[in-house]
Amino acid sequence: MTTSPLIRTCPSCGSELGATLLSCPACHQLVYAEKLKEIAAEAEAAAAAGRQTDALAAWRRALELLPPDSRQSQAISERVAVLSRGLDGSPLQPPGPAPGSRPARFLAPLGVLGLMLWKFKFLVVFALTKAKLLLLGLTKASTFFSMLLSFGVYWSVWGWRFALGFIAAMYVHEMGHVAALHRLGIRASAPMFVPGFGAFVRLDQYPQSAREDARVGLAGPLWGLGAALVAFAIHLATGAPIWAAIARTAAFLNLFNLLPVWQLDGGRGYRALSRAQRGWIAGLILVMWVATHEGMLVLLLLVAGARLFGKDAPVEGDGPAFAQFAALIVTLAALSAVPVPGHRLP
């Protein structure tokens, strides 16, 4: 009698185990107990050395080997949450009046927004420091050839210069997601391009909280904003209209992605915002629409207004996610209004 290679036995009680079981149904022994010990040692060593990303990646691997409802899984999930929060590097609340006071509730969003806008002067420098990661994505055959195919399609419609800039801006946006996922220790694919539909990153693991999901979702528009700013800076330096067109189109593309619906980047960021923060965002969208008359902002305002009445808003909103969302609305709306001398946008 032969034994199927898909059937294992429990090392503790000898019961047969199916290929997908993570614990023995008879004695509840963890199937991958020894492997989990190795991963735990690896994670502890990484954390002790200050390599939080490596520690997160190891603990997330451990979660895949544990039953989701087990106490070990819950304990590791809590550890992942602590390590993940440690990557933010800044307090969730800005300095100011005591929490809960009326002035604090009124001024806190302005404080966080001001801090984020101040940090944006480093955005281009930050993007340049990530040049190695940007080049790494191009070494993946699936990314390179799907990008090449999309480039050919857009070239036939808009010409090679604009198509190249448009594809580059889209690539930078997607690599923002990849960078955030890598930082959080979450496995994901390199970007894949779909001609006429954009690009996407396939996740092998998923964020553990709305806060992590917001970091991943908003990283794309943040990097996309960096690409738009670089294009706009080149336009200012050279006066070439093509760079203004690329900057404006990249800004519009990233503004569209901020729609707080479904799996768009804005939808992922919005899930971490409290009802009050969502109200501030809706008000800011209205202000920027009055200032720029950008039509996309009308759609954003309608959806953001509708989400005010949703029941999914957390009681305690995420400060960094709010600051990033607000700063993106302001800067992308402003860039989407950049005039293109002598040219019509495609």
Does residue 6 fall inside a structural domain?
no
Question: Which pairing describes strands 16-17 and 8-9: parallel, antiparallel, or unpaired?
Answer: antiparallel
From 86, 120, 136, give the residue that closes a domain: 86
Query: Cβ atoms within 10 A of the Cβ of 114, count?
Result: 15
pTM, full prediction: 0.81
Confidence class for position 108, pLDDT limits 50, 70, 90: very low
Q: What is the pLDDT of residues 312-326, one digit of tens each?
A: 889 999 999 999 999
* Backbone phi, psi, residue 132, to 5°: -65, -45
Verify that 26 and 80 share a domain, yes or no. Answer: yes
From 36, 53, 86, give the residue that closes a domain: 86
Containing domain of residue 56, as a range?
Answer: 15-86
Verify that 71 and 141 share a domain, yes or no. Answer: no
Please report, for the domain that includes residue 53, its CATH number.
1.20.58
What is the enclosing helix (H) or strand (E) of 61?
helix 52-64
Q: What is the pLDDT of residues 43-70, one digit of tens each?
A: 999 999 999 999 999 999 999 988 888 8
* Section 281-297 average pLDDT: 95
- Contact partners, residue 214, CB within 8 Å, separation at least 6: 268, 269, 271, 272, 318, 321, 324
- Tally of domains within the chain: 2
> What token pair was written down for 238?
């050279």
Q: What is the dihedral of CA 176, 179, 182, 184, to 10 degrees?
A: -70
Does residue 345 fall inside a structural domain?
no
Verify that 74 and 112 share a domain, yes or no. Answer: no
Verify that 65 and 111 share a domain, yes or no. Answer: no
